[in-house]
Structure 1
Amino acid sequence: MDTGIKIRQGGPEDVPAMLAIFDSAVVWLNERGITAQWGTEPFTSRPKTVELVERVASEGTPWIAEIDGVPAGTLTLTPHPGQYVAPADEPERYVRFLATDARFHGRGVGAALLAHAASETRREGVSLLRVDCFAGSEGRLVAYYERQGFTRTESFTVNDWPGQVLEQRV
């Protein structure tokens, strides 16, 4: 089945498109009463968050999912987790900043990006793919990652933000 989703490697020039996707995701989450995951303010209005997105994109490989040439989703694959999660004791790839633009929600964009991340990890000769996510909101995001083939490992908390690390062997 052709989903119409094309995935391409991104670069620094894609950071504005990535930020627009994150801003859209914040609105989508907030419309569903989920304010604790990514807050209520757009990423673009938070200079430290913009700097973090730029830094993560430069440390790793951003991927952009497009539908009809329009950026529909993004993730960045890095060789290590964020500073709040201990690195694995083996080579790994880590999914950072996975998001789908609200206009394309429900079209399989996130699943396509995660499948691409798994194949890229395998192509690079690495067998461990990890991700962390918001564990609040009845664990809906954790369950989403489990449906994508990930298994829960450790949980963590940053301030009052509950998180869950998951992994997949590729």
Structure 2
Amino acid sequence: MPFNIRTTLSSPSDGEFVLSAFDAALPHLASIGSCEQWGSDPFSANPERCARAHAWITASESYRRTGSGDPVRAFIAEARLPSLSPSLFNKELETRTDGEGREWISVAAAVVKEGYFPAYVAERPQFEELVKEEREKGGSVYLEAMISDFRTGELRKGSGAATLVAVKSYAATRKARVLFVDCWAGNDGKLVGFYEKMGFVRIGEFAAPRPEKEAWPGMFLKMELL
């Protein structure tokens, strides 16, 4: 299914979509043995996660319009709503009607940031030298978040790959050399395998501390773009 990648975003509606998509992923993760990835508490009930999701949208729009400030860009993948059985998508979800009367529904989102490395990766001793070199050279983009909305059923299938293509195209416009990502490495590395299928290669494993819980097992990956 072809997707429309929307880069002109609205606040707070797109921030709410991102939070809802993360919330909707939690039952699926539990069903496949990956409940430890994000836990069971809704993202929308966590003030810090709520603030981060809305900050992504706000920063992305500011950077898109002005080219200055925090170099964050967010991408929303949309699927066109065909005349299908109501069981194939949730009619309660918000849709968008374009200028030609076509109806679209948001199915996935991604957030990238230039020249960025999260502290839980940058501060790991095994990555310190690599991160230092990358910051000195410049030309890196970090895939900070990517999520598809399980509420949209079959309409979301393939949206992750489509969104990643948009991310790579954006990185090319920024003349980026490399795209980085990290992900949860538990449950036999199922998520790591997804990113490898998308073209990423492993840099190394790490353990990221989290308050009042055991450190979560992570994998740091990269994709050469040039």
TM-score by length of 1: 0.90
* Structure 2 counterpart of 1:64: 76
Task: Go from structure 1 to structure 2 and tell me whether the alpha carbon gap of 1:162 and 1:18 turns closer, same or farther (over 3 Å shift).
Answer: same
Taking the aligned partners of 1:136 and 1:56, their CA distance within structure 2 comes to: 26
- The amino acid that maps onto 1:92 is S
Any residues of structure 2 matched to 1:11-160 within 5 Å, and which? Answer: 11-13=10-12, 14-57=14-57, 58=59, 59=70, 60-68=72-80, 69-79=104-114, 80-86=116-122, 87=131, 88-89=134-135, 90-102=138-150, 103-104=152-153, 107-159=157-209, 160=215
Change (3 A) 1:137 1:64: same
| Residue of structure 1 in register with 2:3 after alignment | 5
> Separation in 1 of the partners of 2:120 and 2:107?
28
TM score, norm. by length of structure 2: 0.69
For residue 120 of structure 2, give the secondary structure of its aligned residue in structure 1. Answer: coil
Q: Which residue of 2 aligns with 1:168?
A: 223
The Cα shift of 1:56 comes to 4.1
Letter in 2 for 1:95: L
| Conservation of the 8 A alpha-carbon contact between 1:72 and 1:104 | no
- How many residue pairs match? The answer is 168
CA–CA separation in structure 1 for the residues paired with 2:160 and 2:4? 12
Determine helix, strand or coil for the equivalent of 1:125: coil
Q: List per-residue Cα deviations over 1:47-70 (Å, max 9, x = no partner).
A: 122123233442411100011211
The 2-side partners of 1:64 and 1:56 are apart by: 12
Q: Distance in 1 between matches of 2:112 and 2:141?
A: 6
Q: Give RMSD over aligned pairs.
A: 1.7
Query: Whose helix fraction is larger, Structure 1's or Structure 2's?
Result: 2
Q: CA deviation at 1:27?
A: 2.2
Q: What is the distance in 2 between the residues matched to 1:94 and 1:168?
A: 10
Larger Rg, first or second structure (1 or 2): 2
The letter of the residue matching 1:167 is: K
Deviation of the 1:5 alpha carbon:
1.2
Unpaired runs of at least 5, structure 2 = 60-69, 81-103, 123-130, 210-214
